[in-house]
Structures are given as C-alpha cells and as structure tokens.
Homo-oligomer: A and B are copies of this chain.
Amino acid sequence: MKKPFVIPECQKCMSRSLSVFSDLPDEELQQITASKGCNYYKKGQTIFFEGNNAHGIYCVHKGKIKMHKLGLDGKEQIIRFAKDGDVIGYRAMLSGEPYSLSASVLEDTSVCYLPKDTLLNLIQEDPKFALRLMEMTCKEMGKASKAITNLAQKPVRERLAEVLLILKETFGEREDGSIDVTLTREEIGSLVGTATESCIRLLSEFKKDEMIGLEGKKIFIKDVQGLIKTGNVYE
C-alpha cells in the first residue's frame, strides 16, 4: 500500500484521508469533503488548466485524475495520472512557471487545496518536507525519462502492452478482475502515443491472443507474462 503524502498543514483532512475517504460512495464523500472545507470535483471537471498561473497545490484524498497537455491541433496528450494520496500542481508552483499540464477528473475526486504561502512556509520550516517533495519530483523525472525512451524506441504494439501493465499497476483491479480505471480507446491511444484506430485494432489482437479480455471499457489482464514479453518489459 502506497504511503499517502501527508501535508502537515492539511491535517484537518489529510492525516486521516485514506482511512476516512477510501471506501465512501460518491454522495457521502461529497458531503464529508464539504464539511472539511475541501474541494470536490465531479467526473469531467478540470481542477486546473495548462497555461494558467499556479497559486497553490492540491493533495488528492480520493479520486482519479488525468494530467494532460495540448499537442498539435488541440490533440490531447496524457502524461500521467494522479490518485488517492498524490499531490498535483506542485511542479508549476515550484518552478514559478504556469501549469504545464491540465488536471481533469476521471472519477469523482476530493482534494485539499494548499495555497502557495502555506506551502513555501512549510518548505522553509520543515526541511524534511522539502526533501519529501523533491523526492517525489525526482521520481517523476525518472519515469519521464523512461517514457521518452519508450516513445522514441519502441513500436506501438510494445508500448500498448506496457501501458496496459502500467495501468494495472497504477490502478489495481476491481473485484471482477478488470483494471480499476475507465478510459476511452482514444485516451489509451494518447497514453501510448498512437492513433485511436491503431489502438483499437491492437487491443482486439491482444484479446484474440488471449492476453487480455475486453467488455466494453473494462479491460482484464489475462496473461501478464505474455504482455511483458510483447511489451519487451524487463525491469
């Protein structure tokens, strides 16, 4: 279980975030979120937009968020996801640049907003906190380097196989065994860096090869080893 990123100033909610929020149905979550002075976003809403100025950061109590960027002709590029226990918006805050990504909500999400001043005070007063933030950022950088290498060197088929494994790793599985996130084929294509049609075709192939199962938007990983092999994944 991933350790949540606990922001001291935010203990009104964060210190108990995972235990309190984890398994609530949406309506209750929304009520509790409001009662604690936090923010609630519904599916489809955007927490912040690429290009806007950052005034604070958000810690995610519960929810699923896609971090994405506009490419050519407005085509969406998904860079990564955020979920329970993650912090988003810190990159822009700390670099002093505008948001380089938008944060859009895939599933109802409860977040705590921490304004810039509070954050800067925290960093100044608590070096451990600063180190923790840096650690997080630097781990992201490592993943980004890996993503760049994959995009530059791997063919689409391999990238898709790897993306499926990463999705399972990131979001886990529902009770029925499907990957616990709902994405359109277009979004998966964006993650992989390929056209939607190519993505659909390859998913069908993977299904025919019995490496995955498909039921609507649900994806079932049936053959991890097969996907590892197909995706040339070696860590």
Contacts and interface: CB of A to CB of B under 8 A. Distances in A.
Interface of A: 69, 71-72, 75, 77, 79, 90-92, 94-97, 100-101, 120, 123-125, 127, 130-131, 133-135, 137-142, 144-154, 190, 193-194, 232
Contacts of A138: 90-92, 94-95, 97, 137
Interface centre among A71, A79, A101, A141 (most CB of B within 10 A): A141
- Give the 6 A-B residue pairs with the shortest CB-CB distance, closest first: A152-B193, A95-B138, A144-B144, A151-B151, A71-B153, A77-B149
Nearest to A155: B72
A57 to B, nearest CB: 11
B96 A135 contact: yes
Contacts of A95: 134-135, 138-139, 141-142
Contact of A142 (B97, B133, B154): B97
Interface centre among A127, A142, A150, A152 (most CB of B within 10 A): A152
A8 to B, nearest CB: 15
B145 A148 contact: no
Contact of A135 (B94, B125, B127, B194): B94
A71 B152 contact: yes
B154 A151 contact: no
Given A91-B138, A147-B148, A148-B148, A75 B130 contact: no
A72 B148 contact: no
A181 B148 CA distance: 22
